[in-house]
Amino acid sequence: MSLAWPWALAALGTVPLVLAVAWLVRRRRRRAAVTVTSLALVRAAAPGRGRWTRRIPAALLVAGLAVLGVGAARPQVSVPIASNATTILLAFDVSSSMCSTDVDPNRLVVAQEAATAFVESQAGSRIGLVAFSGVAGVLVPPTTDTDALVDAIAGLTTSRGTAIGQAILTSIDAIAEVDLSVAPTGVEVTDEDTAQPAAAIVVLTDGANSQGVEPVTAAEQATARGIPVYTIGFGTTTPAAAVCDASQVDASSGAAGANAGGGGGAGPGNQTIDEATLTEVADSTGGEYYRAENADELSSVLTELPSTLSVVHEDRDVASWFALAGGLLVAAAVALSLWWGRVRAPRTVTPRRP
């Protein structure tokens, strides 16, 4: 729980003030006590109140004032809420190792099919597409245009290198373009500026960072902006030939033909997934790391993600509840005090004859 107006806690100073006034009044009453000759007459005239009936109203009054004092500081709680306005950046690895045939027909085709199904399931959410190999670039800015996203995914081509860190930074900047609450990379962000935007980054990769900024360093930028990064490691650990047709290879990259080498990978067309780094990136940003070795597992991961991505945390003001609780406590204190302190008809006491 956080406080919007923490300085208003000064209102809690009324609690010791009330206690001090009560103590002074009680002390003056003791000084003003008079001596009577018949205790029976006093007991008959006085209300039938015990020690607890005197203290309960006072305790309720003090508790009510304390609750009202906290309410004056505008307490807020962070609650998870469903949102269909989430901005999601899908960072898609198109390094040449995505031509590996350890999944049929190759990693790229399977990942494209799963990503397409994911996009089509996210009606109402703004999704952007970032493709990365040795460099990262925004292919589709965050949009609700599903057709544009599907066409872009279908047209992905592979190239050399794997720049996971740069993909994260590029995704942050793409989110900042459509969400003014998110600062672009390169802008210093303080703790006071950190919020929980309705945004997330999903990184789908089959390998390890081979160039550019380190993923963990880039993740610090996402953490500072309150953006969780969900990472997916795709592919098996079994070496397999890299086979992509001409339409799946960027001719300008120099990695043409059926055997597109693997961006620093181990084995023919098979790049080793840096699970330790992907896990650290996810954990440090509040996301989660997933492992998928085949088409079914990748589809399952992307199917489960929406339920996670569509939940954001929002600060809700609960001062009204504190005001209600405090008011009820004060009202109960007053009511009990009046009830137990009401004047009763004196009982008739017959004095004993000496």
- Are the CB atoms for 206 and 235 separated by under 8 Å? yes
Q: Is 115 helix (H, G, I), strand (E, B) or coil?
A: helix
The answer, yes or no, to whether residue 260 has pLDDT greater than 80, is no
Distances (CA, A) of 260 to 58, 160, 196, 268, 310: 81, 9, 41, 9, 37
Give the model's pLDDT for residue 58: 75
What is the DSSP secondary structure assignment for residue 198, as one 8-state letter? S
- Are the CB atoms for 175 and 182 separated by under 8 Å? yes
Give the model's pLDDT for residue 171: 97
Tell whether the torsion through CA atoms of 204, 207, 210 and 216 is positive or negative. Answer: positive
Peptide bond into 239 cis (omega under 30): no
Question: What is the residue extent of each domain of the chain?
Answer: 2-78+318-340, 84-309
Give the model's pLDDT for residue 309: 63
Distances (CA, A) of 28 to 21, 24, 33, 322: 11, 6, 9, 34
The answer, yes or no, to whether residue 348 has pLDDT greater than 50, is yes
Distance between the two ends of the chain, CA-based, in angstroms? 70
Question: Which pLDDT tens digit goes with each residue over 120-167?
Answer: 988 778 899 999 999 999 999 999 999 999 999 999 999 999 999 999
Question: Which pLDDT tens digit goes with each residue over 35-75?
Answer: 555 555 555 555 555 566 667 777 877 787 788 778 777 77
Give the model's pLDDT for residue 317: 76
The answer, yes or no, to whether residue 97 has pLDDT greater than 50, is yes
Give the model's pLDDT for residue 54: 65
Is pLDDT larger for residue 346 or for residue 87? 87
State which amino acid sits at residue 232.
I
The answer, yes or no, to whether residue 254 has pLDDT greater than 70, is no
pTM above 0.75?
no
* Average pLDDT of the chain, as a whole number: 80
Give the model's pLDDT for residue 352: 59
CATH of domain 84-309: 3.40.50.410
Q: Which has the closest alpha carbon to 101: 291, 254, 259? A: 259
- The stretch 242-249 carries a mean pLDDT of 89
**In whole angstroms, what is the distance from residue 327 CA to residue 16 CA?**
18
The answer, yes or no, to whether residue 354 has pLDDT greater than 70, is no
Question: Which pLDDT tens digit goes with each residue over 182-197?
Answer: 999 988 887 655 667 8
Question: Which pLDDT tens digit goes with each residue over 1-12?
Answer: 667 667 666 767
The answer, yes or no, to whether residue 247 has pLDDT greater than 60, is yes
Binned at pLDDT 50, 70 and 90, residue 268 comes out as very low
Give the model's pLDDT for residue 197: 81
Distances (CA, A) of 170 to 177, 193, 195: 11, 20, 19
